[in-house]
Chains A and B, each alone.
Chain A
Amino acid sequence: MSFLFFKSIRTIFASNFTDLMKQLVCISKTPETTTQIKLSADHTSLDTNGVNYILNPYDEWYALVRALELKEQVGGTVTVINVGDATNDVVIRKALAIGADDAIRINTTPDSAMSVAKAIADASKSAAYDIIYCGKESIDYNGSQVGAMLAEYLDLPYINTVVKMELDGNTGTLTRDVEGGTETVSTQTPFVLSAAKGLAEQRIPNMRGIMMSKKKPLQVVEYSNEQNNTVVDEYQLPSGKSAIKMIDADNMDELVRLLQDEAKVL
């Protein structure tokens, strides 16, 4: 009883006497980092046979965990959202096992960053989230686009590559990576951020979390994408490195010569 009372007082103070804080974390599914990439015979798609999938590390390790930490501090809810088909439910359940309260899956093909951002914007507009998290990038297509596009659809501030975030009432103080250092900014909720390494520490789901995740709500929303003006035409594998040249440890002059005359990088 006293615990509950204490917690609600804190919650009220932290959220400036407004509603409970609502956080949304966009999560994507990516092939496991050691996956060998194979192409279909006609090079128009990837051969997904035998590929193991994981939650995108930026979404899982940094974005989701920071959202949970903040919830532990000020209360409210953490919802995760994914655009994709039912095969994504495994990674969505993992996010619930780590601690998210509920999940939304938008049942459509994530065929471009734009359609993913549009789908999430349409599904989240009416819910009025205070903070929306994306990862710095999805490690499969490495686009770093969804966050900026989502912020634009929602007409919200966007702070990318965030390594630190604190919230005081409605004011967020965020530190982001920029070339050669960091930059610290402040803005008011609601805002969108993209999470980079440093924002939080990875959490491993425990048995209880895994058991509870099965009972947490996962809402499936039907959606159809609009036509798209950015499409992948073809995939290629990088041309292999030419054979390595081994150089004797006592012949570093030769290595320097090769770097100057052959590789032309010095």
Chain B
Amino acid sequence: MVLVFVEHNNGNFKKTALEAMTYGKKTADALGVECKALTFGNNPAINSIGEYGASEILVVDSEHLSAFDSQVYSNTIADIAKANNASVIVTTHNSSGMGITGRLAIKLNAACGSGVNSLPVVSGSDLIVEKKIFSGKAISKVKLSGEVKVISVTGNTLPPEQTGSACPVTATDVSVDAPKVKVISHDKQSGGALPLPEAELVVSAGRGMKGPENWGIIEELAAALGATTACSRPVADTGWRPHHEHVGQTGVAIRPNLYIAAGISGAIQHLAGVNSSKCIVVINKDPEAPFFKAADYGVCADLFDVVPKLTAAIKKAKGN
């Protein structure tokens, strides 16, 4: 059995959770076994996860699971995995996944593929998965052997597919310990756009902007696209933009469908965080800027001229 751990918010699943579900379903199909979902906290709407391939959704409802604690979460997932003889456990490689995937592997004495970005290839009793290493400069094929495998899936690995229909929801009774980590508060970033790791469209800008007062044209472009804004490291370091916008090797690593970079030179540490984007557009006035080598489309001109024109063209195309 393949068990997929999915998080939901009042019955709503994030896209990354649906991707993990589709990943689990395809893995289960390749192995010829069943695929079930596991989630914490009951809500009538969670049966929709069946549309993405779960044959049943197992629910653990406990006040001890209402906030995230890696220890309590992984203990509970491991208990359910054991009780159901799961051979593959799929998680999302996000902030909670990074806390639980490794713990699960130790608890279940399992092989562990973390941050995987390909469906597994079945080779006898082994699974072979791919992941990017050296910040995207190489790919490693990792062989997972043994009876139990834990895989955490990177966002945008595959699109969610609606192949099934709503599934039965089964309340599952396991004892859950009180967490040793207490959540005191949540702080949401301002702005309505999707957070960077989940955004499919990203507009990013660098030192070529000259100063924070010029960011209006970037925000207008992002608004026209419905995109999230990002920036290079020096821009965040000097306080022109908030730190959570910093992408690259030491910032957030993203893989959106579209990454538009204006006034960013394309240093290797910057590329490390963005080179998995499906399509890259670079706007830079220097024809020698290294970013052009990593881009799909390039505009070699003054960004203060190009960006407003691009915004206008997008508005025009959307108006049609």
Q: Which residues of A contact B (CB under 8 A)?
A: 31, 33-37, 39, 46, 57-58, 61, 113-114, 117, 136, 139-149, 151-153, 156-161, 173, 176-188, 191, 194, 197-198, 229-238, 241-242, 244-250, 252-253, 255-260, 263, 265-266
Interface residues of B in 290-320 (CB under 8 A from A): 292-302, 305-306, 309-310, 312-314, 316-317
B303, closest chain A residue (CB): A249
Q: How far is the CB of B247 from chain A (nearest CB, A)?
A: 11
Is B105 engaged at the interface, CB distance under 8 Å to the other chain?
A: yes
A33-B272, A235-B140, A265-B278 given; A253·B317 CB < 8 A = yes
Cβ contact within 8 Å between A232 and B142: yes
Looking at A114, A187, A242, A265, the one whose CB has the most chain B CB atoms below 10 A away is: A265
Across the interface, B180 reaches (CB within 8 A) one of A146, A157, A230, namely A157
Q: How far is the CB of B286 from chain A (nearest CB, A)?
A: 13
B107, closest chain A residue (CB): A152
Q: How far is the CB of B122 from chain A (nearest CB, A)?
A: 14
A187 / chain B contacts, CB cutoff of 8 Å: 180-182
A39 / chain B contacts, CB cutoff of 8 Å: 138
Cα–Cα distance between A58 and B95 once the two chains are bound (Å): 16
Q: How far is the CB of A21 from chain B (nearest CB, A)?
A: 19
- Total inter-chain residue pairs, C-beta < 8 Å: 267
Q: How far is the CB of B132 from chain A (nearest CB, A)?
A: 7
B136 / chain A contacts, CB cutoff of 8 Å: 238
Q: How far is the CB of B90 from chain A (nearest CB, A)?
A: 16
Cβ contact within 8 Å between A245 and B141: no
A188-B180, A229-B110 given; A183·B297 CB < 8 A = no
Looking at A152, A160, A178, A183, the one whose CB has the most chain B CB atoms below 10 A away is: A152
B300, closest chain A residue (CB): A246
Is B145 engaged at the interface, CB distance under 8 Å to the other chain?
A: yes
A-B contacts, 28 of them at CB < 8 A, read A34-B268, A37-B134, A39-B138, A57-B249, A113-B112, A114-B112, A117-B106, A140-B134, A147-B102, A148-B100, A149-B103, A152-B106, A159-B99, A182-B186, A184-B183, A185-B181, A187-B180, A230-B145, A235-B139, A237-B139, A238-B132, A241-B280, A244-B295, A245-B296, A247-B297, A249-B305, A252-B306, A253-B313
Cβ contact within 8 Å between B141 and A236: yes
Is B279 engaged at the interface, CB distance under 8 Å to the other chain?
A: yes
Cα–Cα distance between A161 and B95 once the two chains are bound (Å): 7
B302 / chain A contacts, CB cutoff of 8 Å: 249
A113-B114, A148-B99 given; A184·B141 CB < 8 A = no
A33 / chain B contacts, CB cutoff of 8 Å: 135, 249, 268-269, 272
Cα–Cα distance between A37 and B137 once the two chains are bound (Å): 7
